[in-house]
Structure 1
Amino acid sequence: MFDDVFNGKRVLVTGHTGFKGSWLTAWLLKLGAEVIGLSRDIPTAPSMFEELGLDGRIDHRLVDVRDLDAVRGAILETRPDFVFHLAAQAIVSTSYADPVDTFTTNVVGTMNVLEALRQASWPCVAVMITSDKCYDNVEWVWGYREHDALGGKDIYSGSKGAAELVVKSYYHSYFSDGRLPVRIGVARAGNVIGGGDWAKDRIVADCMRAWSAGETVDIRSPSATRPWQHVLEPLSGYLTLAQQLVAKPGLDGEAFNFGPRAEQNHTVVELLGALAEAWDGRDPSEAYRITNDIPFHEAGLLKLNCDKALFHLRWESNLEYEETIRLIGEWYGAFYREKADMFAVTMAQLADYEQFAADRKRIWARA
């Protein structure tokens, strides 16, 4: 997998205690990496990070990415071969309630990682992860491309657009001339779903919390359309980008979108119906109720064009929509109903995903 580039390597992950960070950490362990994680806290309860016992499997450090000295100290001490920067305030509703925390975490945190890497004297590949919300979304029907305008009307989108500008300015000011042994890539993805998500105001997490307690879930925007993708889809893109940055210097400084095929766009109601069927076969009309409480702006439509990743990285999404729903239902079923060993369940789903990729001849899964 991934040409075995992570096996035996030191990989630093910021935001490793979050939903995506926990999945990435688990996958890196499976790939043979030595993982160092930087996060300021355990963001949810329950927590996938804690349920998998990842604190005992990696070099787990509680570090706030807004603390430059701490970030710089961790990077200079551990001298990672790869850095995946995921640490972020990623909840839209929270961004409205606490814009200062959102901007400082997403913008200053990104700057601090890059500032620390300015002192790297060893070869290192850094993948800076932002979001599809970095684009100035005018809700047109075609997907956004990497050169489209950045920024947004809301606090969260603004923070992600600003983080992108920080990456661009740092790259061209310090890294692009090749004097530093660091290669930088930027990854953009969104609408990620999967087992192990317990963040507030996320549709799958809200559903599983409610349904596991025998309750009905409230939804705000039933007609909102999103390119839903399993968490392992963009993670395979991030890992592919890192792998390719090692082999192809010409990709240094480039940004890439990672998302599902266009036919996997579904409304919130369609997603809820599929999840309800996978969870317990209930009538979708009994699984949720629609509220008119929309306290902040939410985009109705947002899509990405991923042709650049296909052309340059030969990356493409791996799962069918039905497979995504099944994996989610099985993960939460194992947690809530079976009280299973969730590290073993997660590793089994990673193995299934890798097998899907091998069967479908995805570039990163070749022997």
Structure 2
Amino acid sequence: MCHQKSIGAGNVIGCGDWAADRIVPDAMRALGRGNPIGVRNPAATRPWQHVLEPISGYLCLAERHSVRELVEEELRHWPGTWIDQIDAKAPHEAPLLNLLFDKAPHRLGWAPRWDFATTVACTVGWYRRVEEGQASALESCLADLLSLAATPTR
């Protein structure tokens, strides 16, 4: 008998996302050009996770951080600035998104390896290495995979 499960990932950040109107790619493009990061909703909170986390367990980190906290952590790894671009006329964004993974440690024996600071550091590092020509996208992905694999579960 086959049992079906439904799982989802949170606001995934990390290598290779160049989509428009997403906080990390927009931030990396702005920093690469020497411009301030435009932040539309700095108080919004999201369950940020590095793309390698859902691949390793397809579950999210339990840490929840605001968009402001994400951008400020990004700026620790790639110096620059951000500006508040709150627009009352913009489409509605939920102020808080949550995901629960409380069953994962007990049922799957899974726990995330990277905390929020490491997730952001690896994400910014990937974009910066690629943007500055220090490594290819593939080389940066492989480096992140090796780093995740070498990190013990928290």
**TM-score over 0.5 for the alignment?**
yes
Residues 152-192 of structure 1: CA distance to partner in whole angstroms, max 9, x if unpaired? xxxxxxxxxxxxxxxxxxxxxxxxxx4xxx66432212111
Shift of 1:295: 2.2
Give the letter aligned to residue 69 of structure 2: E
For the pair 1:223 / 2:43, whether they are aligned, the reply is yes
Equivalent of residue 259 in structure 1, options 24, 36, 60: 60
C-alpha distance in structure 1 between counterparts of 2:136 and 2:74, whole Å: 22
C-alpha distance in structure 2 between counterparts of 1:317 and 1:209, whole Å: 28
Please list, as runs of the form range in 1=range in 2, the aligned pairs for 1:266-345 lying within 5 A after superposition. 266-280=65-79, 282=80, 286-345=81-140
Pair member with larger Rg: 1
Which position in structure 2 is the counterpart of 1:45? none
RMSD over aligned Cα atoms: 1.9
Distance 1:315 1:351, change over 3 A: same
C-alpha distance in structure 2 between counterparts of 1:330 and 1:269, whole Å: 19
TM-score (norm. length: structure 1) = 0.40
Please state which structure has a larger fraction of its residues in helix: 1
C-alpha distance in structure 1 between counterparts of 2:3 and 2:142, whole Å: 30
Equivalent of residue 206 in structure 1, options 8, 26, 29: 26
Shift of 1:321: 1.3
C-alpha distance in structure 2 between counterparts of 1:312 and 1:294, whole Å: 44
Q: How many aligned positions are there?
A: 154
Give the letter aligned to residue 279 of structure 1: W
CA contact (8 A) 2:130 2:140 kept: no
Shift of 1:294: 4.7
Gaps of 5+ in 2: none
C-alpha distance in structure 2 between counterparts of 1:323 and 1:236, whole Å: 16
Larger RCO (CA under 8 A, 6+ residues apart): 2
Please list, as runs of the form range in 1=range in 2, the aligned pairs for 1:63-82 lying within 5 A after superposition. none
Identity among equivalent positions (%) equals: 38
Stretches of 4+ aligned residues off by more than 6 angstroms: none
